[in-house]
Structure 1
Amino acid sequence: MHGSKAAAVGPGPAISLTKVRETAPGLVSLYKSAGVSLEKHGLNGRRAAVYLVLDHSGSMRDYYKDGTVQALADRVLGLSAHLDDDGRVPVVFFSTDIDGFGEAGLSDHHGIIDKIVANLGHMGRTNYHVAMDAVIDHHLDSGSTEPALVVFQTDGGPTSKLAAERYLCKAAKLPLFWQFVGFGDTRSSQFDFLRKLDELAVPAKRVVDNAGYFHAGLDPRKVPDAELYDRLVAEFPYWLAAAEEQGIVR
């Protein structure tokens, strides 16, 4: 394992506990739990952009209604506060196409998913590649030189597997790490493709291993915060080391 480059490492979390207490008191315990996981995985003081990609296909309806998606957004925000100092996470909603964009922020996180979803249209099918394309464009347009952790949630395989694989392989040359999170029945064959994406050959298919995958089960809210954060960041340092070696992250 290579150490992180000094330029991309700060003295501590990007946003202080005091600031989180002031702006988002409801996220304090999540913020603390995320900090423990980051320290455990050698990511203390690391800077990275954080994205949240949310499956908005028809089968996701109940997860939006019962607050599961909002709970994931809050947890990702708690993590982001350590990595990125702007206190905001860009959110991409996708189904057949891009259904919409939004932002979750420390100061307005409460109920933000419901507010955004209320203005989105029809819940369609599942096309990963359209969401991947949107994240790639956003990251390139931002001009950021920092690496990015993309939390990509879905409850099933994509309509176009070929396109999803192609985009992931193309994106391997960019400073983006894709952490896929599955919602639903762990025994479903729907997730076979995500396991395949996670294990695509290096360097035959892609220059570095730029993706991770874990399954959060039928009720993702029951996954303890500490476990969720461990699984969200466990593969990130290995990718950082490989990406630095290849000059993808500087």
Structure 2
Amino acid sequence: MALSLKKIEETAPALLSLAKEATGALDRAGLTGHKAKVAFVLDHSGSMSRQYSSGAMQRFAEKALVLGTQFDDDGQIDFFVFDSDADYLGEISLDNYKGSVDRLRKGRHMGTTNYAAAFSSVLKHYGFVASPSAPQKRTLFGRLKGPAPVELTSLPVKEPVYVIFLTDGAPDSRTEATKGLIAAAEHPVFWKFISISPTPIPFLEKLDEMPGRKVDNANYQDVADVDKLNDDELFRVLLEEYPDWLNAARGAGLVQ
């Protein structure tokens, strides 16, 4: 259930105009009343330094938060970053959104671009676990070795997870990233990939169209400069293909 515009006006009046734009975008996408958890995942590699120092990532976080308030009435989104590894850093909420990106990432060093770690971090945070990379084997004495087998989620959930994933480049390991997204398709999680690079990233275009998944669980768009999109256009971009994924996920028994 969406957080009311009145509540947003009372708690974070500076975001009210954005919230009205988000409400309109959801209505046009046929998502009014839809409920989902929202994860906000940012590339924290060295090449992103200017995007943080300019405030672009904070401004984008505020727009992601507003969209999150229309998917869930808890008034917050979950914030993750990925560089050489990935971590959940906490919540960005209507009560503490100002300066939240720099505050939550304070003291973290920038690194490389590990998509696979980001996928894993999000799945684990919401209680979903990917399959092990290899089955257990028996030793000469009959003992099992290697990673323990993990049961994939089989019961459909009421609330899917909608992930906004922003990056400016391809991952360290394309193989691990590909495996990670295929494994993630077993779960009720949709990945909206946004790139802020001068030209589209071929690897993300490949992930968007990749066969071999239980459902098509991702959509990719290159926006070059996220600050240059007007709010209505940004929300349209963020919601593109999400309704189609919801239908497919329901058909596959992932979402009620």
TM-score, normalised via structure 1 length: 0.88
Deviation at 1:102, TM superposition (A): 2.4
Q: 1:241 aligns with which of 233, 236, 247?
A: 247
**1:94–1:100 contact (8 Å) kept in structure 2:** no
Q: Following the alignment from structure 2 to structure 1, what is the Cα–Cα distance between the partners of residues 169 and 101?
A: 20
Q: Following the alignment from structure 1 to structure 2, what is the Cα–Cα distance between the partners of residues 237 and 145?
A: 15
In our comparison, the structure showing a higher alpha carbon Rg is 2
Q: 1:216 aligns with which of 220, 223, 230?
A: 223
Aligned length: 229
- Higher helix proportion (structure 1 or 2): 1
Query: Match of 1:108, SS?
Result: coil
Q: 1:76 aligns with which of 32, 40, 64?
A: 64
**1:31–1:78 contact (8 Å) kept in structure 2:** yes
Mapping for residues 136-151 of structure 1, pairs under 5 Å: 136-140=123-127, 145-151=158-164
Instruction: Name the Cα RMSD after superposition.
Output: 1.4
Q: Deviations over 1:62-105 (max 9, x none)?
A: 00000110011000011011101111111111101125512210
Deviation at 1:145, TM superposition (A): 4.0
Q: Following the alignment from structure 1 to structure 2, what is the Cα–Cα distance between the partners of residues 35 and 77?
A: 13
Letter in 2 for 1:224: N
Gaps of 5+ in 2: 129-152
Q: Deviations over 1:45-66 (max 9, x none)?
A: 1001100000000000000000
Matched, 1:229 2:235: yes
**2:11–2:94 contact (8 Å) kept in structure 1:** yes
Determine the structure 1 residue equivalent to 2:176: 163
Runs (4+) of structure 1 moved beyond 2 Å? none
Deviation at 1:186, TM superposition (A): 1.8
Determine the structure 2 residue equivalent to 1:185: 198
Q: Deviations over 1:102-121 (max 9, x none)?
A: 2210111111111122232x
TM-score, normalised via structure 2 length: 0.86
Q: Following the alignment from structure 1 to structure 2, what is the Cα–Cα distance between the partners of residues 159 and 98?
A: 13
**1:56–1:99 contact (8 Å) kept in structure 2:** no
Q: Deviations over 1:177-213 (max 9, x none)?
A: 00001012126xxx10000000012xxx101100001
Matched, 1:90 2:90: no
Matched, 1:197 2:207: yes
Determine the structure 2 residue equivalent to 1:132: 119
**2:79–2:89 contact (8 Å) kept in structure 1:** yes
Determine the structure 2 residue equivalent to 1:206: 213
Percent identity for Structure 1 against Structure 2: 43
Determine the structure 2 residue equivalent to 1:18: 6
Gaps of 5+ in 1: 1-9
Determine the structure 2 residue equivalent to 1:154: 167
Letter in 1 for 2:181: L
